[in-house]
Every structure is written in structure tokens, then in C-alpha cells.
Amino acid sequence: MATQPSSDRGVWSGKLGFVLAAAGSAIGLGNIWRFPYMASEGGGGIFVLVYLICVLAIGIPVLFAELSIGRATERNPVGAFKALAPGTLWPAVGGMGVLAGFGILAFYSVIAGWTVGYLWMALTGDFGPGVTAEQSAQMFTDLIGSPGPALLLTAFFLAVTAGVVRGGIAQGIERAAKVLMPVLLFVLIVLLVRAVTLPGGLDGVSYFLKPDLSELTPTVLVTALGQALFSMSLGMGAMITYGSYFPRDQSLPFAGTTVALADMGIALLAGLVIFPALFSAGMDPQGGPGLVFVVLPTVFANMPAGGLWAVLFFGCLAIAALTSTISLLEVVVAYFVDERGWSRNKAAISVAAACFLLAVPSALSQGASAWLTEFGWLDIQNIIWGNYGLSVGALLICLFVGFKWGPEKMLEYVELGGNRVPGRGVLAFVIRYVCPLAIATVLAFIIITGQYF
């Protein structure tokens, strides 16, 4: 067996390269846009509590399941299942993952386009003192409701993503991931301090942190589960692909856990910025997909040099979104390169172009087209791919590792190049019984109660 993944596929420059790239994949709009938006629909604190349980009890085990499959096979999700279970239906799970990646990318790039629009607005001085909650809401509606800008920004974002993915693994992805993540963290901390000290800000903190058990519904369960998976880039094979580039002679457990905790930390930070600001501005917690974009300008309005912070924030957010879209596109591209023999160049460009077509209705569903808006196309894409697609994917991955491949194999590849995992028996038990049962129960609840959305 080779000591490194074969060099023509590429390999991370080391553990740090992996942590940065995987954290780059995990940390993105999922933490800063989707998490507060889902939390506001899920009743605040109760959603946050279920989300945290899902990250620890399901997210982290599934993360290691995916990474170990990637490490064992050095393949894209489809090839990985083919290698481990030839002649079975399991490769279809990889296929579903590739499809889910495509579906997620198609609405994700629309939101990512908004961040670029906001960066542009910040650069031209639209944010800063004096912006009221009403003006902020109007700016948002104007940007996303005009078909021209909405489509152009989406196309731009997909084009940049394809440009990076064409360049190959080590150079393209790592370079993008390394630079701006620490800056994003710093800006979020500054915004947090400002938001919680705004008048009425503490009401937002208690909304966000105090669970109200009476608000627990099947929808909250599936949304929180979906959010945990979405935020950690799980359930569709992205981490299989990323694990496949992990150097064989380095230790994985610590690196993987770091990625999970960093992702969770950024989401919590984002919530602690958004909800205090929202309550302070007297807005409605049912903010919809515009939540972050509408709320944050009211924070910048109350800060010295608010316009500058806005530039920094939206600049970093756009980069965080880019390192995530890269990972989404990478999964689909790796499939066409490995399984279909396409060149990286051809795969990156044609997949991104096809993705744009699926993104068009999402981009037009925020005011530009009346019936797509009424239909709620973007929200539905978000729920179908993000909540259901990833939950079903994660369930199947757990069943695969638990009953087909075997938890022992998973542990072997988690431990490859490093020490034995403490509590390895627990991890094996959790991946085999706890995760699949929990996910299946949540999905069964949804089917029985019919509360799909």
C-alpha cells in the first residue's frame, strides 16, 4: 500500500493543510447565514440545544465515518463505495451525494452572490451610521429582487469557484482557505461585543440560549439535524473526498475534532451577533433567508467606522463562502474526473455551467419572479437538499459503516498514522446503533406527522 495518496490526485500539504481546507469547507454561509435563519424558524434556544446535541452525538461520528472511507479508498464518493462494496448498490449512496452536492451548490451560490453584492455595497459606502432597520430591509429587497444583479452575482460566484477548482487541490484550495479565516473570527468577536451591548441586546442572548421545551417539534428536530450536517459538510461525501487527500502518515482524530469544534464555535458566535442585534432593532425573529443581511447593517450603523467593519465582514464572508462552494464543486468534479475520465478543466467548467441553470430559479425566487417567490423555491431547495438529502445520506453512510464495512475498519483508518482513539468502542457503538436510530427516528417522525417544512 502506498504511504501517500497517489500524487496525481494531490495530497494536503500536511495536517494543517487539511484542517484549514476542511474547516474552510465546513465554515461558510451555513454558519453565518443558515444557522441564525434556521434557529429563528426553530424557536431560538430549543433549536440551538438540539443542534448542539446533533453535532456531538451524530455530526462528529459521521465526520469520522466519512473521513475514514475517504482515507481507506482515496476516491470520490462513488468510487469509494465501489472500492469497498463492489457489485452492490452502495455506490448509489455516493451518487446521491454527488447529486446533493450539485443541488446544494445551486442555491448556495445564489446566497454567496448576495455576499458579493453586499461587499460591493459596503465598498461603495452604503453601510455605516444612520442606516435604519427599514432602510436595511429595503436595500436587501432591492438587491435580491432585481433579476440582473441576482443572476450576475450567482454566475460570478460560480465562475470564481470553477476557476479555483480547475487549479487542483493543494494550490487552489489551501491558498484560499489559509488567509481570511482568522480575520473572520476576529471580526465576529468585535461584532459580538457590539451587538450584546446594544440596548435590548441581552434579550437576544436569552432568546438564543434559553431553550423552551414546549417548542420542540419534529420540524425542529429535522432542521437542527440537517443544520448540523450541513454546517459540517456531511452527508454527501464532501468529507469522503477531503479525507481521501489526507496524508497517510499523519494523525486524524485531533485534526477532525478541531474542524468540528471550530465550525460549531463560529456558528454560535454568529448567533450571538445576530439575535442581540435583531432584538435591539426590534425586528421579527422569523427573518427568513434575509435575516443576516437585513440585521447586520443595523449593527454597523451603531459602530465607529461601521462602514469599514462592513467591508471586512462581507469580504471575509464571501471568502468563507468560496472555500465552501469549492468543496461542493470539488465533490462533483472529482466524480467526473475519477469515474468518467474527464479532464479537471472540462469537469469544473461544465459542472459549474450546469449548476448555474439550476440556480436560476433560486436566484429569481426572491422577488424577481412573482410565482417562484410565492412558491418559495429557494427555501424549498434549502430544505430538500440541506435537511432531507443530507439526513438520508448520513443515515446510509452510518448503516454502511456499521453493518457493511464494519466499525473496526473505520477505526483502523481513523487511527492510521496516529494513536489509538480513546473510547474507540463508544465510537463504534455510536456509529452502528445510535446515529442510524436517531436519524431514522427523526425522519420517521416527519413522515408520520407530515410536517415536512
Q: Residue numbers of the site for ligand TRP (CB under 6 A)?
A: 25-26, 28-31, 104, 230-231, 233, 236, 238, 324, 327-328, 390
**What distance in Å separates the CA atoms of residue 373 and residue 379, rounded to the nearest whole number?**
10
To ligand TRP, the closest distance from the beta carbon of 410 in angstroms equals 19
Nearer to ligand TRP by C-beta: 104 or 151?
Answer: 104
Residue with nearest beta carbon to ligand TRP: 30
- Contact present, 332 and 240 (Cβ < 8 Å): no
Nearer to ligand TRP by C-beta: 73 or 233?
Answer: 233
To ligand TRP, the closest distance from the beta carbon of 206 in angstroms equals 26
Count the helix, strand and coil residues of the chain and give each as a percent rounded to the nearest 5. 80, 0, 20
**Taking CA 399 as the corner, what is the angle to CA 394 and CA 400, rounded to the nearest 5 degrees?**
95
**What distance in Å separates the CA atoms of residue 326 and residue 165, rounded to the nearest whole number?**
6
Q: Which is nearest to 3 in space by CA: 223, 207, 250? A: 250
- Residue 130: CB atoms within 10 A of its CB come to 8
Nearer to ligand TRP by C-beta: 31 or 223?
Answer: 31
Nearer to ligand TRP by C-beta: 162 or 238?
Answer: 238
**What distance in Å separates the CA atoms of residue 373 and residue 361, rounded to the nearest whole number?**
9
To ligand TRP, the closest distance from the beta carbon of 2 in angstroms equals 27
- Contact present, 217 and 47 (Cβ < 8 Å): no
To ligand TRP, the closest distance from the beta carbon of 254 in angstroms equals 20
Nearer to ligand TRP by C-beta: 175 or 420?
Answer: 175
DSSP code for 33: I
**What distance in Å separates the CA atoms of residue 145 and residue 137, rounded to the nearest whole number?**
12
Nearer to ligand TRP by C-beta: 301 or 317?
Answer: 317
- Contact present, 366 and 107 (Cβ < 8 Å): no
- Contact present, 213 and 46 (Cβ < 8 Å): yes
To ligand TRP, the closest distance from the beta carbon of 39 in angstroms equals 14
**What distance in Å separates the CA atoms of residue 309 and residue 247, rounded to the nearest whole number?**
38
To ligand TRP, the closest distance from the beta carbon of 25 in angstroms equals 5
Longest CA–CA span in the chain (Å) reads: 64
- Residue 153: CB atoms within 10 A of its CB come to 24
To ligand TRP, the closest distance from the beta carbon of 86 in angstroms equals 26
Nearer to ligand TRP by C-beta: 131 or 395?
Answer: 395
To ligand TRP, the closest distance from the beta carbon of 108 in angstroms equals 6
Q: Which three cell numbers, joined as nine digits, stand for 392? A: 438520508
Nearer to ligand TRP by C-beta: 121 or 328?
Answer: 328
